[in-house]
Amino acid sequence: MRISVGWAAVIALGLSVAIGMSAAEETKEGAAAKADAHQYIGVDGCKLCHKTEKSGDQYGKWLASPHAKAYELLASDEAKEVAKKAGVEGDPQKADQCLQCHVTAHGVKAELLGAKYKVEDGVGCESCHGAGADYKSKKVMEDKDAAVAAGLIIPTEATCTKCHNEKNPTHKGFDYKTAVEKIAHPTPK
């Protein structure tokens, strides 16, 4: 059996040399398709490296922010009132009309949700920074351009207004400058 595996490798090598051009094209197409199809890893996958004081404890700052409680909030009496007024039947924690802004990655294909993704994270890191499976490695993270190429988003106002907009039943306006200060989690210089 060893011999046939060896031969398979030789044949595969020859084949990939012979069809070098089209293989390269295929890879390019694959990469383009993948660009908007990175997997979500959940907040714990970022916490690993972003929780020390030295790194700026982005995890701790996020945990103390309202975004971490966005899913939990949907279980409150207040949320049930909001849902009723918005004409949403049943449990807000199960309603698409609420989850679309109160959790990360609502409505994406199931295969894009990694094993550690959980709705309980509410509006997690990846709601603003993009799905992390392909940029979370140390090597990629340390190289900003590589990280962005692998799906990292450096948020702008448009990132926020996906949720902070008129479709939000409790919308009271949104001022990017003050809002971004409230959730700031910079890396110490």
Q: Which is nearest to 40 in space by CA: 102, 112, 93?
A: 112
Angle at 110 between CA 109 and CA 111, to 5 degrees: 90
The distance of Cα 121 from the centroid of its chain, to the nearest Å, equals 11
Nearest to 33 by CA among 146, 119, 112: 112
- Residue closer to ligand HEC by CB (options 22, 188) is 188
Q: Are 86 and 97 in contact (CB under 8 A)?
A: yes
Does 118 help bind ligand HEC (rule: CB under 6 A)?
no
54-83 residues near ligand HEC, rule: CB under 6 A: 55, 58-59, 62, 66-67, 69-70, 73-74, 78-79, 82-83
Interacting span for ligand HEC (CB under 6 A) from 9-17, 20-28, 31-39, 118-126: 118-126
100 contacts 122 by C-beta, under 8 angstroms: no
Asked if 103 contacts 123 with a C-beta cutoff of 8 angstroms, the reply is: yes
- Within residues 19-38, the interface with ligand HEC by CB under 6 A covers none
Binding site for ligand HEC (CB under 6 A): 41, 43, 45-46, 48-50, 55, 58-59, 62, 66-67, 69-70, 73-74, 78-79, 82-83, 86, 88, 92, 95, 97-98, 100-102, 123, 125-129, 132, 136, 138, 141-142, 144, 154-155, 159-160, 162-165, 167-172, 179-180, 182-183, 185-187
